[in-house]
Chains A and B, each alone.
Chain A
Amino acid sequence: MIAQLVIDGLLTGAVIALGAIGITLGLAILRFANFGYAELMTVGGYAALTAVLAYGGTGAPLGPFSFGGFLAVALAVGLVVTALVAVASDVVVFRPLRRRGAGPLVLIFASFGLALVLRHVVLLIFGTQPEYYSREIQMAVLLPGDVRVMPDQLLVLAITVLALVALWWLLNHTRMGLAMRAVAENTPLARACAIDPEMAIRWTWIVSGALGALAGTLFGLTVQLRPEMGANLLLPLFTAAVLGGVGSIPGAVIGGLLVGLAENLSVLVLPTSYKATVPFLIMLACFLLRPKGLFGK
C-alpha cells in the first residue's frame, strides 16, 4: 500500500512539477504570482484536443500506450498555441500595466481576471463535459511490490524528465536562457548589459506557456480534460513553487514531487476528504519554517 502511494505520489508530482516550473519562472522574472498560469495548462490541453478532434483521433495506439502517434503533433500544436496565448496576454494585459509601474498585486489581480476569461472561453467553445484524447482505458501493469502503474504514466514521467533536460539546456546554453537568468536575478544590471528585459519577459511567457501546455496535455492524457482543470491545480502548483524556492527550477521539481507524495501519503494519517487541504498545510509550514523555500537563496 505504501509503495503504491509513493509511486502514485511521484507520478502526480511529475505533472505538478512541470506546472510549478512555469510558476517559479513567472515569480522570478515577471515578478508576480500569476494566478492565471494554471489556465494556460487548460488552454494547452484543449488546443491539443482540437488538433486530435480535427484529425479524428490520435491514430492507432502505440504499443502499450492508450494513444497513437498523432498525439505528438497535437502536443506541438498545443505548445505553439499556448505560447502565443501567453505572449498575447502579456502584450494586451501585463505589459501596459508594467509600463504604468503597477505593483505586483495589481498584476496578480489582473491575472485573476484573465484566468476567468480564459477559463470561460474554453468552456464556451468546448462545453463543460470532460474530454479525452483517447477513450481507450489501459490496464495497469503490476510491478514488483504489488504496485500498479499505467504505461501512460511511465511515459509521462519520461517526458517530464526530457522536458527538464531541454529546459536546463535552454537556460544554460542559449542566449535567451542567459537573458532570462540575468533578468531574474537583477533587472537593472541586465539592462546595463544591454539585455532588453521585455525580451526576456517575452521568452519567459513563451517557455512557461509551452511548459504549461505540456503539463496540461499530460494531465489530460492521464486524467481528463475539463475547463476547470487548471483552476483545480492552482494550489498544488503554487505550493510546489514556493516550497522549492522562487526561481529555483530544481526546487520546483522537488517541490512538485513532494506535494504529490505528501498528498498521497496523507491518507495514511488523515481521512481522504482532507487530502486537498494537504498542499496548503505544506505551504503554511514552509512559510513558517523556511520562508525562502527549500532551495531559496
Chain B
Amino acid sequence: MMGTLSYLVFFVTVASLFAIATLGLNLQWGFSGQFNAGVVGFMAIGAYTYAALTAPAQHEHVGGLDWPVIAALVAAMAVTALVALAIGLVTIRLRTDYLALATFGIAAAINHLALNLEGITGGGRGIAGIAKPFADLPPLWFGLAFLALAAGALLAVYLLLERLVRSPWGRALRAVREDEVAAAALGKDVDRMRLTAFVIGAAPMGLSGALYAAFIGYVSPYDFLAILTFQIWAMLIVGGSGNNAGAVLGSFVVWALWSLSGIVVVLIVPTKLQVQGGAIQAILIGLLLVAMLIFRPRGLMGERLHSSPLLRDDAAVRH
C-alpha cells in the first residue's frame, strides 16, 4: 500500500506539473484564441534556465552558479516570458493556423539549439546534478514535500489566472477572442492584449519546465519532444478549454490515461505481444482525442463564463 501511495504521490506531482503548463496554454488558447503549437519549447526554456542556474559546473562551460531554488524558479519564468515576448512581437499578427505553424517550428528550433549549443545546454548529454529542493529528505518525504511544492505552485497559478480572467482585462480578452474587429472598434488595443496574454501564458509553461527539471534533477533535449506539446493540448481539450478548473482536471485525466494505458498493456497483453503494445497505446489515445473532439467538443467541463454563442453557430451555417 505504501508503494501505491508513493506512486500516487509521484503521479499527482507529475500531473500537477503538466497542469501548470496547461493553465498557461489555457490563457493563450482558451481565453485569447492563440494557437501555440510550441508549448514544449517554452517548457524547455524554463527547464534549461533553471538547470543552468543551479547545476554544478560540468562539461565545458555549463553551471556552477548555485542559485537558490526559488530565485532560479522565478528566473526561469522571467526568461521564458522574455523569450515569449520576443516571439510574440514577431508572430502576434499572424492568422491562427500560421501562428500554430510558427510556434511548432519554434519548438523544433529550440530543440535543435538545446542539442547543439553544448556550452549552455550540454548538448545531447544534457545537464545533470540539477538542484532538487528537499533532496536531503528520505524518498517518501521528498515525494510528499515536492508534491506540496508542485501543488502549491499549481494552486498559485490557478488562483492568479482565475483572478486575471475575471478582471475587466480578462473579459476584454474574451471579447477579443470572439470578435477581433468588434473589440478593436471598442477601442481595445487588440495586438497588445493578445501579446500580453501570450507572454503571461508562457510564464507558467516555463515554471512547469523548471519544476520538472528540479523534480528529476536532469534535463536533456529528449525531454522536450513535439509529442509533449500534443499531450498538453490533449489535456486542455479533454478538460475543456476556456475553463481553468477544466484545464487542471484534463491534465490529471489525460496523464492518468497516458500512463495507465501503459500499465494496462503490461497487465492484459501477453509479454510476447507487448512490443506491439506501445503502438496500440498510441492508437487508443489518438482515437480517444478525436472522439472527444467529435462527441464532447467542450471537454469534460467546458467554458464557464458564457460568451456570445452567435459566432459559433454562424460558422455552422456558413459551412
Task: Mark A residues whose CB is within 8 Å of B.
Answer: 27, 32-33, 93, 96-106, 108-110, 112-117, 119-121, 123-124, 187-188, 197, 235, 238-239, 242, 271, 273-274, 276-277, 279-281, 283-284, 287-288, 291
Minimum CB–CB distance from B307 to chain A (whole Å) comes to 13
Q: Which of B100, B115, B276 sits near A108, CB closer than 8 Å?
A: B100
> Do A235 and B108 contact each other (CB < 8 Å), given the known contacts A108-B35, A108-B97, A287-B94?
yes
Among B5-13, B190-198, B286-294, the stretch that binds chain A is: B286-294
Contact, CB under 8 Å: A242 / B96: no
Contacts of A279 in B (CB 8 A): 105
Q: Residue B233 contacts which of A112, A117, A273 (CB distance < 8 angstroms)?
A: A112
Instruction: Let me know if A242 and B290 touch, CB within 8 A.
Output: no
CB distance from B110 to the nearest CB of A (A): 10
CA separation between A114 and B291, bound complex, in Å? 10
Q: Pick the contact of B293: A32, A99, A106, A291 (CB < 8 A).
A: A106
B116 touches A283 (CB 8 A): no
Chosen A-B contacts, 25 in total, with CB atoms closer than 8 Å, are A27-B97, A93-B294, A96-B294, A99-B316, A100-B294, A101-B312, A105-B96, A105-B97, A106-B297, A112-B289, A113-B289, A116-B285, A187-B319, A197-B319, A238-B101, A238-B104, A271-B116, A276-B108, A277-B109, A277-B112, A280-B105, A281-B109, A283-B101, A284-B105, A291-B98
Residues on A with C-beta less than 8 A from B285 are 116
B37: min CB distance to chain A, Å:
8
> What's the nearest-Cβ distance from chain A to residue B143, in Å?
31
Q: Are B96 and A98 in contact (CB under 8 A)?
A: no
Counting contact residues on chain B (CB < 8 A from A), the size range is: 35 or more
- Whether B96 lies near A104 (C-beta < 8 A) is yes
B residues less than 8 Å from A99 (CB atoms): 316, 319
Which chain A residue lies CB-closest to B281? A120
Q: Which of B33, B104, B115, B234 has the most CB of A within 10 A?
A: B104
Q: With a CB–CB cut-off of 8 A, which chain B residues contact A121?
A: 279, 283
Would you call B106 an interface residue if the criterion is a C-beta within 8 Å of the partner chain's C-beta atoms?
Answer: yes
Complex alpha-carbon distance, A121 and B29, angstroms: 30
Q: Does B15 reach chain A (CB closer than 8 Å)?
A: no
Apart from A100-B316, A102-B293, A284-B106, 5 more pairs, CB < 8 Å = A102-B297, A117-B287, A120-B282, A120-B283, A187-B318
- With A108-B100, A116-B282, A123-B279 already in contact, the answer to whether A274 and B105 are too (CB < 8 A) is no
Given A114-B286, A235-B108, A276-B112, A32-B97 contact (CB < 8 Å): yes
Interface of A is mostly: helix
Q: Which residue of A lies closest to B312 (CB)?
A: A101
Asked if A242 and B293 sit within 8 Å, CB to CB, the answer is no
The answer to whether A101 and B319 have CB atoms under 8 Å apart is yes
Q: Is B222 an interface residue (CB 8 A)?
A: no
Residue of B whose beta carbon sits closest to that of A32 = B97
B91 close to chain A: CB less than 8 A: yes
How far is B102's CA from A284's CA once the two chains are assembled, in angstroms? 7
Per the bound structure, the CA–CA distance linking A96 and B230 in Å amounts to: 22
Bound Cα distance from A108 to B293, whole angstroms: 11
User: Chain B residue with minimal CB distance to A122?
Assistant: B279
Asked whether B90 is an interface residue with its Cβ less than 8 Å from the other chain, the reply is yes
Please tell me if the beta carbons of B97 and A287 are within 8 angstroms of each other in the complex: no
Q: Is B313 an interface residue (CB 8 A)?
A: yes
Which residues of the other chain, B, contact A283 by a CB distance below 8 angstroms?
101-102, 105
Asked if B181 CB lies within 8 Å of chain A CBs, one says no
**Does B175 touch A at the CB level, under 8 Å?**
no
Nearest B residue to A34 via CB reads B97
Residues of chain A within 8 A (CB-CB) of B318 are 187-188
Q: Could you tell me if A235 and B97 are in contact, using CB atoms closer than 8 angstroms?
A: no
Give the Cβ gap from B6 to chain A, nearest Cβ, in Å: 31
Closest-by-CB residue of A relative to B314 is A101
- B109 close to A280 (CB less than 8 A): yes
Residue interface mask B14-44, A partner, CB < 8 A = 1? 0000000000000001000101000000000
Q: Knowing A116-B285, A120-B286, A277-B112 are in contact, say whether A284-B293 is a contact too (CB < 8 A).
A: no
Would B101 and A242 count as touching, CB distance under 8 A? yes
